Amino acid sequence: MLEQVKKYVNRKGIQKKLKVDINKNILNALDEVVLCFGENVFTRHKSNFSQQVIENTIPTMINNGIKDLKENLIKLKSVRKNSFEHYKLIYGNNAEKLYEEKTEKSLQTKDNFIKRHGEIKGSKLWEGYSKKKSKQNTLEGYIERYGLELGKERFKEYSDRQSYTKSIEYYIEKYGEDHGVELYYQRYPAYEYGEDYRDYKNAVYRLSQKVYEENIKIINPNNYPRTRMGVEGGWQLDHIKPVIECFKEKITIEEASDISNLRMLPWKENLMRNFK
């Protein structure tokens, strides 16, 4: 065990954060961190890491069973903070549950407003938020905030920016040539497979809705409310084998829309399928 590691794990502040017994594997992993990032890695005013990483992130990683601390610390520098990838590097196998809880708490719902501010104040704040949100990113909202001419100009800038973030150029710029292209086509498969896929997908959705309406008691026996993502308590009609996979495997529209391929999922669970 390196001297820097010994001093680090014996700090009172670090010992309070650690919830597991320090074994040989953990000490070896910390040794690797020192060898990779330098002898001052655990020294607050000399380290390349922030105090937050030294005193909170690393102990959290240890508590969650991260074995390769060095590799995960390297990767942390290249992922967006508080993203699911960020959570996986810190929390390991516990990431999915914690990320879902964090997502639920951060949702701007009436229930969450009441939890934060109490029944009366929370309801009033929610009403104001809902009115503001309904036109926040509309031309009307921009004109209201910035005036007629500047509002029109800023709304056009916003619209152009929104369009760019959905372009393949944006994904390449953000994630690199190879990975960016791969992520883009995962997010927008219709652009890779063209009109054939769009027609197939629309036909599957139409037929799936018809099958659902004819078999509600089988597919949705508990009468869960179908909603968009973000609506508290909402559920969605899900294809067990994703539509894009059905298309790739040349499964017929009827088979893809069959009752055996349909189920109800809470919208959060449906969302997490994308991360998996």
Q: Consecutive 10-residue runs of the chain (276 residues): their mean pLDDT?
A: 91 93 94 93 88 94 95 88 86 87 74 86 85 75 85 86 78 69 70 78 92 93 82 85 88 95 87 58
Concatenated DSSP letters of 131-196: HHHHTTTSHHHHHHHH-HHHHHHHHHHHHHHHHHHTSHHHHHHHH-HHHHHHHHHHH-HHHHHHHH
* Best CA proximity match to 67, nearest among 32, 35, 36: 32
* DSSP 8-class letter at 109: -
Compute the distance between CA of residue 190 and CA of residue 170 in angstroms, rounded to an integer.
17
Q: Which two tokens stand for residue 135?
A: 């036109």
* Best CA proximity match to 94, nearest among 229, 102, 29: 102
